[in-house]
Structure 1
């Protein structure tokens, strides 16, 4: 993962994902988010989750539309506003974040190797709290 900071879009994969969301038709943007969230959320606890940066970015976009959610204002996120997202993405995003913070998940391993796992986990916990409360 080519990362330059700890933010949800501060890595190459998530930044590219922001462009992919922009490129999707307005009616298909929620499906783009759903696909990356489900790909992580539906992995088994013994499966190794390779990647996951897109799921974190998708969860941040979903959380931005929740009460108390922070808007995604980074230059690396989508450039165009998202339409209102279906509320069923919220529990899916929570499941994806839970999977990424469990063992056998590459992002957690990478941030731990960099000595920034606690900071990364705090950011994920803040996203999860907004999503779970919505």
Structure 2
């Protein structure tokens, strides 16, 4: 089927990735997410669509654990519990940056269709992944 919608889990590669997470031992799941993000970040040449789709799904799993993050898709996301992934926020942001930087097959494919909703989803994920300032620092800045 390929891709059926614009969401982070709405494609075969992301669904297969989530199934892989479910099949892995609990202790291996964080490493699998980290490896998916690192693969996209480390790709200097052409980033193939399946690797990019997996990186987006992995970033969405990290974002799901951050304040303001949307839960993983109940139909296609992982069913098994995931460990704390919030330490991967920076890596997830860099992976998303790579997905939307040429040369990227996924970026090209969305440019050929109405990719505005997809790009908006990527921007939302990036916004959630941004670390928020500690409360004390915000209060200190507001008092000045």
- Using the size of structure 2 for normalisation, the TM-score is 0.85
Go from structure 1 to structure 2 and tell me whether the alpha carbon gap of 1:82 and 1:15 turns closer, same or farther (over 3 Å shift). Answer: same
1:67, distance to aligned residue in structure 2 (A): 1.0
CA distance in 1, matches of 2:111, 2:28: 35
1:29 aligns to what? 29
1:109 aligns to what? 108
1:20, distance to aligned residue in structure 2 (A): 0.4
1:49–1:100 CA contact under 8 A, matched in 2 = yes
1:57 aligns to what? 57
Give the helix-richer structure, 1 or 2.
Answer: 2
2:5 aligns to what? 5
1:116, distance to aligned residue in structure 2 (A): 2.2
1:102, distance to aligned residue in structure 2 (A): 1.1
| Unpaired stretches in structure 1, ≥5 consecutive residues | none
| Unpaired stretches in structure 2, ≥5 consecutive residues | 133-144
Which structure has the larger Rg? 2
1:109, distance to aligned residue in structure 2 (A): 0.7
2:26–2:82 CA contact under 8 A, matched in 1 = yes
1:63–1:127 CA contact under 8 A, matched in 2 = yes
Query: Do residues 95 (structure 1) and 94 (structure 2) align?
Result: yes
Report the secondary structure of 1:54's partner residue. helix
Q: How many residues align?
A: 130
1:9–1:74 CA contact under 8 A, matched in 2 = no
